[in-house]
Structure 1
Amino acid sequence: MSLSSHDTTRRQVLARTGALGAGIAFTGALSELFAGTAAAQSPGHTGYGPLVPDPDGLLDLPKGFRYRVLSREGDQLRSGEGPVPSNHDGMAAFAGRSSGRHARVHLVRNHENRANGKVPVPTVEGLTYDPQGKGGCTALALDSRNHVLSERVAIAGTAVNCAGGPTPWHTWLTCEETEDKAGTNGYTKDHGFIFEVDPVDPHRTGAVPLTAMGRFQHEAIAVDPRRGVVYETEDAFERPFGLFYRFLPEKPLGGTGSLRAGGRLQAMRVPGVPDLSSIQETGAEFDGVEWVDVPDPLAAGTPIRHQDFGRGGITHAQKLEGCYWGGRSVYFVSSFARSDDGSAADHYGQIWRYDPERRRLTLVIVFGPDTDVRLPGESPDNICLAPSGGLMVCEDGNGAQHVYGVTRRGEVYAMARGAQNIGTPDEPEWGEFAGVTFSPDGDTMYVNCYTPGTTFAVTGPWRR
């Protein structure tokens, strides 16, 4: 999730003009962000109140909230398999049993390690794809008080595990954000795949790439819970930019392992729109969206986004990242676009909705530009629905790093601030947040600090 080469653009989003003094432009229907969720009370104009400096120097929270450190990079995994890997990224929480010493929550956590990963995911027999891959996932089981019952490797030997998404049958799809092939960076196998991870018993899913779902720089996925179609975003770093995909499984909603049965990978074509950044007006609708079969999903010779999609070409977009299902539609995010990078136009963030029944694509939210980078809201990355009825968004940019909330009324408030200085006293620096997610009962927010890799459980008066 790290922006690395993109962190020179400072932007703040998810606020209305003047909200909390942010003074940024915001157009579109905020209610779109919460489609399909139950109505709930949101915090007031000041959220949960000001952040209180943490005397332990880890995580600043509002009064009444508290955190527990579940895991830190370099510590030993409870399984004894090796040290906790670095670069904590995307994450999801799944329900477990609720009594005795049985797990109440199962967490699956990505580790976005590249070939030079600081603390690699330990290799484990039966769970390792490529012994030279440094990325993967770890799984934590927690009791009702967020005590760690177990912590172990869930998949190893993968690379640059960025985001992903949960399935309706309660597994995690972890995505490799790379196109490196065997022989590159020391890898012995091709990378750029999606892998399925069972949070309770990782050996059920093993380390098998879901090759039919494509080989490209994956970011996130969302599953249509009615049809079983899997939507995928591609965060390509250079032109031509990424595509928005759908995967039509041979066995839709078939449960764990069913995606191995294969299917068809298609890319979205919006007739007359080669680059989504060229669309700037919220509410713009495009009917008759087409889905074109990907010529070579394994990208054996040519990356998919470079392939020939025939007459009419294909539709690209810069920084395609978040992806989630709401109501009867899939939503996906273009975090920003810059004409200097080759995009058709500049923007500070778009949220698009695709309605599969109507085959209609709608631009529902447009953000930017920024005016006050001291406030929370720069460079949003991971996003999740909150029990308040609003959103929690992880920040990834320069300066102070926040988890910030957005109410249904469009108010932005700071929920957490990283206090671990990874810079110097004169030039402080803080690691980005990633993987924000809530326990199934909504009582705990789990979130990662990317560097130094730290997983927090945050509890408090969420339903106030």
Structure 2
Amino acid sequence: MSVSRRHLLAGAGALGAGITFTGALDQLFVGHAAAAEVGGHSGYGPLVPDPAGLLDLPRGFSYQVLSREGEPLLSGEGPVPSNHDGMAAFLGRAGHTYLVRNHENRPRSRVRVPAIEGLTYDPAAEGGCTVLELDHTGRPVDERVGIAGTGVNCSGGPTPWNTWLTCEETEDKAGVNGYTKDHGFIFEVDPRDPHRSGAHPLTAMGRFQHEAVAVDPTTGVVYETEDAFAKPFGLYYRFLPNKPRGGPGSLRAGGELQAMRVPGVPDLSVVQEAGTSFDDVEWVPVPDPLAAQTPIRLQDFGPGGITHAQKLEGAYWGNGRSYFVSSFARTKDGSRATHFGQVWSYNPRSNRLTLEVVFGPDTDTQMPGESPDNIALSPNGGLMVCEDGGGDQYVYGVSRTGMVYPMARGRQNLGTPESPDYGEFAGVAFSPDGRTMYVNCYTPGTTFAVTGPWRG
């Protein structure tokens, strides 16, 4: 550990006013070109109002609406479901791209994911995934159900073998909310042939309020975040698969689920200084991964307990590390300290956990730099963050030097002209060739493809 725990715990809650973004950003951008400076500010310039009232972008950029909730799926299976959330892009044949998109539908959602034979886990559940196939020009040529009958599909993550792991952000059991089966699992979706993956819960990977995953391509280890809504908050997990070489369906062979313990740190929110690291991380076997009687975060992990964190959200793998996001922590909610957003990394080779980036308070109403949610590395020179805050909703870019700049702003007003309300962004991802940014508006469910003069 590079900072003493006494110093760390004594300083809990101390976050310098006016900080926008601090931390070891070079760690996030290794292998990526840095964004250039425009007019003294990082980014692509000011956002230009969209005459159509959908999406504001910098000059020179344009968007295409690929899909909107309620419109017919191109497959004819039913309408496009609502609540567009996590998403990833995969390379297909002949230059085609597959977009796998989560639908975070709860019971009584606006538009449910159609129940398709062979792809439905629980007919009473309304969430799932859809798959968009785009041709080499970016035009949608197919759109179909990838999995159905799952609940509250929030985020997930891609695997090295080009499938999507979709995560249920719920712990509801059979009999709750009308469900006929237990929920809280991860499911694998094959974008090229969803029927090959089916609708099988990966039970060994745990039953809890899943958020996102990141897979180590060398070992096949899967790192998982838990966005538990109430104290004690979620845990950070790793899953050691019985078939570490991976491949479609390999995770169904089971493995061991472990939770991260940082000795002497019961709550990651107490870590306030970017660059703080711990090299004594412990991984503790989860007593009951299926949480038959007790939620995992409440189970007995023995002497020393376990390390919790509020609002664990996005995750991704890069630079030989598993990165994960804590969107915020608030003492009023039960966290040990308050922060406005953190990005952590875990290096399995050195067994080191590091607080890479700290987001700052709302010092600038135009670019608040707080509450990071979905997060993705751009192959063209930056970090893209879907901010989950109040007011206007943005996709932000972050330069290597730590400057935050607006990349997109949602203009679909769900409120009134006097009291506007905008749906959050989610699922930011880039095409395999890096030339297109895909992003979802959660409500009303809309999937955009953004092209323009990306640098790098």
Q: What TM-score do the two structures reach when normalised by structure 2?
A: 0.93
Give the corresponding residue for 1:10. Answer: none
Give the residue type in structure 1 aligned to 2:33. A
1:271 aligned counterpart, secondary structure:
coil
* Cα gap change, 1:98 to 1:377, in 2 (>3 Å): farther
Q: CA deviation at 1:358?
A: 1.7
Q: CA deviation at 1:42?
A: 3.8
In structure 2, what is the Cα distance between the partners aligned to 1:39 and 1:373?
A: 28
Give the corresponding residue for 1:13. Answer: none
Give the corresponding residue for 1:39. Answer: 33
Give the residue type in structure 2 aligned to 1:49. G
In structure 1, what is the Cα distance between the partners aligned to 2:355 and 2:28?
A: 12
In structure 2, what is the Cα distance between the partners aligned to 1:375 and 1:422?
A: 21
Asked whether 1:155 is paired with 2:147, we answer: yes
1:98 aligned counterpart, secondary structure:
helix
Deviations 1:288-343 (A, max 9, x none): 21111100000000000000011111111111111111212211111111111111
Give the residue type in structure 1 aligned to 2:422. W
2:66 to 66, 70, 77: 70
Is contact 1:24-1:370 (8 Å) kept? no
In structure 1, what is the Cα distance between the partners aligned to 2:358 and 2:417?
A: 37
The 5 Å alignment of 1:25-174 reads: 25-35=20-30, 37-42=31-36, 44=38, 45-98=41-94, 104-174=96-166
1:322 to 311, 314, 322: 314
In structure 1, what is the Cα distance between the partners aligned to 2:97 and 2:34?
A: 23
| Structure 1: gaps spanning 5 or more residues | 1-15, 18-22
In structure 1, what is the Cα distance between the partners aligned to 2:277 and 2:35?
A: 31
Is contact 1:28-1:364 (8 Å) kept? yes
Asked whether 1:362 is paired with 2:358, we answer: no
In structure 1, what is the Cα distance between the partners aligned to 2:328 and 2:367?
A: 19
1:417 aligned counterpart, secondary structure:
strand
2:125 aligned counterpart, secondary structure:
coil
Give the residue type in structure 2 aligned to 1:56. A
Give the corresponding residue for 1:20. Answer: none
RMSD over aligned CA atoms reads: 1.5
Give the residue type in structure 2 aligned to 1:78. L
Q: CA deviation at 1:359?
A: 1.5
1:373 aligned counterpart, secondary structure:
coil
Give the residue type in structure 1 aligned to 2:323. Y
Q: CA deviation at 1:111?
A: 0.2
Give the residue type in structure 2 aligned to 1:30. L
Is contact 1:387-1:463 (8 Å) kept? no
* Cα gap change, 1:253 to 1:373, in 2 (>3 Å): farther
Give the residue type in structure 2 aligned to 1:39. A
In structure 2, what is the Cα distance between the partners aligned to 1:288 and 1:86?
A: 43
Deviations 1:164-184 (A, max 9, x none): 000000000000000000000
Is contact 1:376-1:414 (8 Å) kept? no
Give the residue type in structure 1 aligned to 2:43. G
Q: CA deviation at 1:25?
A: 4.2
| Structure 2: gaps spanning 5 or more residues | 1-15
Say how many residue pairs are matched.
439
Asked whether 1:204 is paired with 2:199, we answer: no
Q: CA deviation at 1:390?
A: 0.8
The 5 Å alignment of 1:226-375 reads: 226-375=218-367
2:396 aligned counterpart, secondary structure:
strand
* Cα gap change, 1:424 to 1:361, in 2 (>3 Å): same
Give the corresponding residue for 1:181. Answer: 173
Q: CA deviation at 1:50?
A: 1.6
In structure 2, what is the Cα distance between the partners aligned to 1:291 and 1:168?
A: 23
Deviations 1:350-405 (A, max 9, x none): 22221112222122222222212233634321111113321111122211111111
Is contact 2:325-2:372 (8 Å) kept? no
Is contact 1:383-1:393 (8 Å) kept? yes
Deviations 1:186-213 (A, max 9, x none): 0000000000000110001000000000
Give the residue type in structure 2 aligned to 1:409. T
* Cα gap change, 1:437 to 1:277, in 2 (>3 Å): same
Asked whether 1:440 is paired with 2:440, we answer: no
Is contact 2:430-2:438 (8 Å) kept? yes
In structure 1, what is the Cα distance between the partners aligned to 2:385 and 2:356?
A: 18
